[in-house]
Structure 1
Amino acid sequence: MRIPLTALAGCMVAGLLVPAPAAAAGRVGQAGLMATMGGEVMPQKCAVPKIRAGSVPSLRSFHEAMAKCADTFWAGRFAAAGLPYSSPEVTITTGKDSVCGAITGSGAQYCPDHRTIVIRITKQDLRDPFRMNIAHSVAHEWGHHVQQLIGVLAAQAALYEPASDKARKLLSHRVEMQAECFAGVFYSATLKSIRPGISWQNWIEAVRNADESDIHGKPRNLAHWQDRGYRGGATGFCNTWTASKAKIT
């Protein structure tokens, strides 16, 4: 999904999207990570470099730094919850194919089977390397990796296949909005280091005014969940599975 500036977020690879209903989310929550609520947010310093317009190596270095930042953050959160953590593979490319298959949409994807985040450097990124848009590609996809590790994705794979088209869309929205919320949790500790080039309020307003996506849902709800994760600073604020349809569609 892309906001009018450049890009907002990537998405799960079509066919591998495996949603979880409220019951499964509750079981995951009891495992540790999703039970965490509130508490003081501890700032995390990340060395994220400047981006030079038109430079593929510069963008690659930025993505690599963002990946290191996200990996450090989530490893710490999992450790605090007493849960095992493993890093995803990260592929940064200018091509159109990856282990996920054809790279579509905004160019950022997560492949659950391979536990791989794929980031494609696009021509738009090179022309207009807006830091927060580009950073969000990593933050959102790492949210999907977190979902994979805590069981939100794989544990519910069987539910997606028999679901109606309408039910699939709603389940897709719950997955994507939770990934947005996880990205917000990550930003709560790292935004200052990322130096986004935009205030948080203006960023959320840009998200709210993005084009609507069938996969992701209404921009106003995506903005709501990302802001909820940021202001809450904990994964316990990100249970999209028990949220009303009005907050998910």
Structure 2
Amino acid sequence: MGGDWPALTCAIPAIRLGAAASVKAFHRAMAGCADRFWAARFAAAGLQYSPPEVTITTGTDSVCGKITSSGAHYCPEQRTIVIRVMKRDLRDPFRMNLAHSVAHEWGHHVQLLTGVLDAQSALYEPASDSARALLSHRLEMQAECFAGVFYSATMESIKPGIEWEDWLEAVRQADESEVHGKPGNLAFWQDRGYRGGATGFCNTWTARTAKVT
């Protein structure tokens, strides 16, 4: 899913400080933008596309379990992206952080539609703990890269309130996640997708281990 693509214009609203309804409206607009973007990419590649369900809540329950402190997750069996509006989002509604909740989880939906999630699951079940950790990191790094591909066409519409290099530095400075891997590598793959502008730049499965741990 590559090619030279023009920018995608999406109407993504401003966020009112302290207003949960405003944050939800932002997420809904981001979801609509991601849906348009990936539908076009799949169509150009001759692949079948269907959008995920998107649930935006202030609670902690979802169709596939409790929502963690990260505030968002993807439920593959239900093909549902669940986003929890956190108190921190109301206190400090940083647009790029909020946008990334949608962009990253949509990356997992793309992985489902293209068979990546099933392939990863087949490898994951019989694997050792260390091999499982590496498989998890490869999956999450690719979702980051897919988010970067999405940003390559939509950043002007998102109006992130931060320069790209500053955003990457913020990603690098984040706490390390056991599931997602080193923040420096997450920033690397996000940037690779952003600068490449196509999913072909996102093959984390053959990347050397040091780039995905």
**Is this a same-fold pair by TM over 0.5?**
yes
Separation in structure 2 between the aligned mates of residue 181 and residue 56 of structure 1, nearest angstrom: 29
C-alpha contact (below 8 Å) 1:47/1:65 kept by paired residues: yes
Query: 1:183: which partner in 2?
Result: 147
C-alpha contact (below 8 Å) 2:120/2:135 kept by paired residues: no
Identity across aligned pairs (percent)? 74
Q: How does 1:60-99 map to 2 (within 5 A)?
A: 60-99=24-63
Q: How does 1:1-249 map to 2 (within 5 A)?
A: 33=1, 36=2, 39-249=3-213
* Deviations 1:205-229, CA, capped at 9 Å, x for gaps: 1111111111000011000000000
| Structure of greater relative contact order (alpha carbons < 8 Å, 6+ residues apart) | 1
Instruction: Compute the displacement of 1:54 (Å).
Output: 0.6
- Specify every segment of 5 or more residues in structure 1 that has no aligned partner in the other structure, as ranges: 1-32
Please tell me the residue identity of whatever aligns with 2:176. E
Instruction: Compute the displacement of 1:107 (Å).
Output: 1.2
Separation in structure 2 between the aligned mates of residue 81 and residue 162 of structure 1, nearest angstrom: 33
Query: 1:20: which partner in 2?
Result: none
Considering only aligned residues, what root-mean-square deviation do their CA atoms show, in Å? 0.8
Separation in structure 2 between the aligned mates of residue 158 and residue 178 of structure 1, nearest angstrom: 17
- Specify every segment of 5 or more residues in structure 2 that has no aligned partner in the other structure, as ranges: none
Q: TM-score, normalised to structure 2's length?
A: 0.98
C-alpha contact (below 8 Å) 1:41/1:188 kept by paired residues: no
Separation in structure 1 between the aligned mates of residue 118 and residue 187 of structure 2, nearest angstrom: 26
* Deviations 1:67-98, CA, capped at 9 Å, x for gaps: 00000000000000000000000000000001
Separation in structure 2 between the aligned mates of residue 156 and residue 136 of structure 1, nearest angstrom: 23
Q: TM-score, normalised to structure 1's length?
A: 0.84
Separation in structure 2 between the aligned mates of residue 77 and residue 85 of structure 1, nearest angstrom: 9
Separation in structure 2 between the aligned mates of residue 111 and residue 75 of structure 1, nearest angstrom: 20
Instruction: Compute the displacement of 1:162 (Å).
Output: 1.4
| Consecutive aligned runs of 4 or more in structure 1 exceeding 4 Å deviation | none
C-alpha contact (below 8 Å) 2:168/2:191 kept by paired residues: yes
Please tell me the residue identity of whatever aligns with 1:155. A
C-alpha contact (below 8 Å) 1:182/1:226 kept by paired residues: yes
Matched residue pairs, number? Answer: 213
Please tell me the residue identity of whatever aligns with 1:45. T
